Amino acid sequence: MTVINSAEFLKSSTSFEQCPTENLPEYAFIGRSNVGKSSLINKLCSQPKLAKTSSTPGKTQLINHFLINQQWFLVDLPGYGFAKMPVKLKKKMEIMINEYLVNRPNLLNIYVLVDSRHEPLEIDLDFMARLALNQLPFSIVFTKADKNKKTRTMENIDKYKEVLLQSWEELPPIFLTSSETGLGTSDILEDIARINLLY
Ligand code: GTP
Ligand code: MG
C-alpha cells in the first residue's frame, strides 16, 4: 500500500519556465474544467484543503506544484474547455498548459480526468490525441463515480473504450475514481509508486 506521508504546496507558476527544478518525478492532473482535478489531488493526499476546489468551473488558473513525501511532485493544472471564460484568457491558458506538458522532461505521466457520467466528448478525445501525437504518456481517470449507479458508470466507460478503439490500436491505462468515497485512489497511488521505481 502506497502512502502519502507529507504533501505540501510548493509553488504556483504561470509558465513552464517558472516551474520548480526538474529533479523529481512529476505527475500532472488535467481535464475539462470542473471535472474534479483539484478534489482528486486532495483525496490522494488526504488533505481536503490542499488544492483549491470550487463548484464553479475555472477555479484553478495556474500550474500548481505539490511536493509529496519530499520525493515527487503532483501538479494541479487549470481545466480546459470552460465555455464562459473570455476567449483571450482561454487561449493564454491553453498555451500555458501545452507548453508545460511538452517542456517537462521529468513529467512521467499525465492523468487525464474525464467525468464518468458523460458520453465521450470531442474536446477530451482531441486532447488525448494531441498527447499521443507528442508521445506523452497518459492514463484516463474517470471521476465522480459516486454520482451514478455502478452499472451505468461501467456502461459509460465501455462506450468510451469503444470510441477510443475506433481510432487507436491500444487503450491507455484506465482508472475509475471518486473523490467522495476515495474509490480508485489507491490504484492511482500504486501506479505512481510503480512509475517512481522506474525513474
Ligand atoms: P477547475 O480547477 O475549475 O478546472 O476544476 P477541477 O477540475 O479542479 O474541479 P474541482 O476539484 O474544483 O471540483 C469541481 C466540483 O466537483 C466541486 O464542487 C467538487 O466538490 C465536485 N467533485 C469533484 N470530484 C467529485 C467526486 O468525485 N464526487 C462528487 N460527488 N463531486 C466531486
Ligand atoms: Mg482545480
Which residues line the pocket of ligand 1, CB cutoff 6 A?
33-39, 53-55, 57-60, 78-79, 143-144, 146-147, 178-180
CA of 199 to the centre of ligand 1 (A): 30
Ligand 1: residue of 39, 63, 82, 89 to mutate (most ligand atoms within 8 A of CB) is: 39
> Residue 79 has what pLDDT?
94
Residues of the chain with pLDDT > 70: what percent?
Answer: 99
> Under a CB-based contact definition with an 8 Å cutoff, are residues 90 and 9 in contact?
no
pTM for the whole thing?
A: 0.97
Ligand 1: residue of 50, 52, 54 to mutate (most ligand atoms within 8 A of CB) is: 54
Question: How many angstroms separate the Cα of 16 from the Cα of each of 64, 93, 96, 101?
Answer: 11, 12, 7, 8
The predicted model gives 109-133 an average pLDDT of 95
Residue 193 confidence (pLDDT) above 80: yes
The confidence band for 84, taking pLDDT boundaries of 50, 70 and 90, is confident
Average pLDDT of the chain? 95
The predicted model gives 55-68 an average pLDDT of 94
Ligand nearest to C-alpha 115? 1
CA of 181 to the centre of ligand 1 (A): 13
> Under a CB-based contact definition with an 8 Å cutoff, are residues 151 and 159 in contact?
no
Per-residue cell: 121:
466528448
> How distant is the alpha carbon of residue 74 from its chain centre?
9
Minimum-distance ligand 1 atom for the alpha carbon of 39:
11
Residue 199 confidence (pLDDT) above 90: no
Residue 83 confidence (pLDDT) above 90: no
> Residue 1 has what pLDDT?
64
> Residue 2 has what pLDDT?
77
Residue 59 confidence (pLDDT) above 90: no
Report all structural domains of the chain as residue ranges with CATH numbers, in order of start. 7-198 (3.40.50.300)
The confidence band for 46, taking pLDDT boundaries of 50, 70 and 90, is very high
Residue 180 confidence (pLDDT) above 70: yes
Main-chain dihedrals φ then ψ at residue 81, nearest 5 degrees = 75, 25
The predicted model gives 165-187 an average pLDDT of 96
Q: Kindly tell me the burial class for residue 168, based on how many C-beta atoms sit within 10 Å of its own C-beta (0-12, 13-18, 19 or more).
A: middle
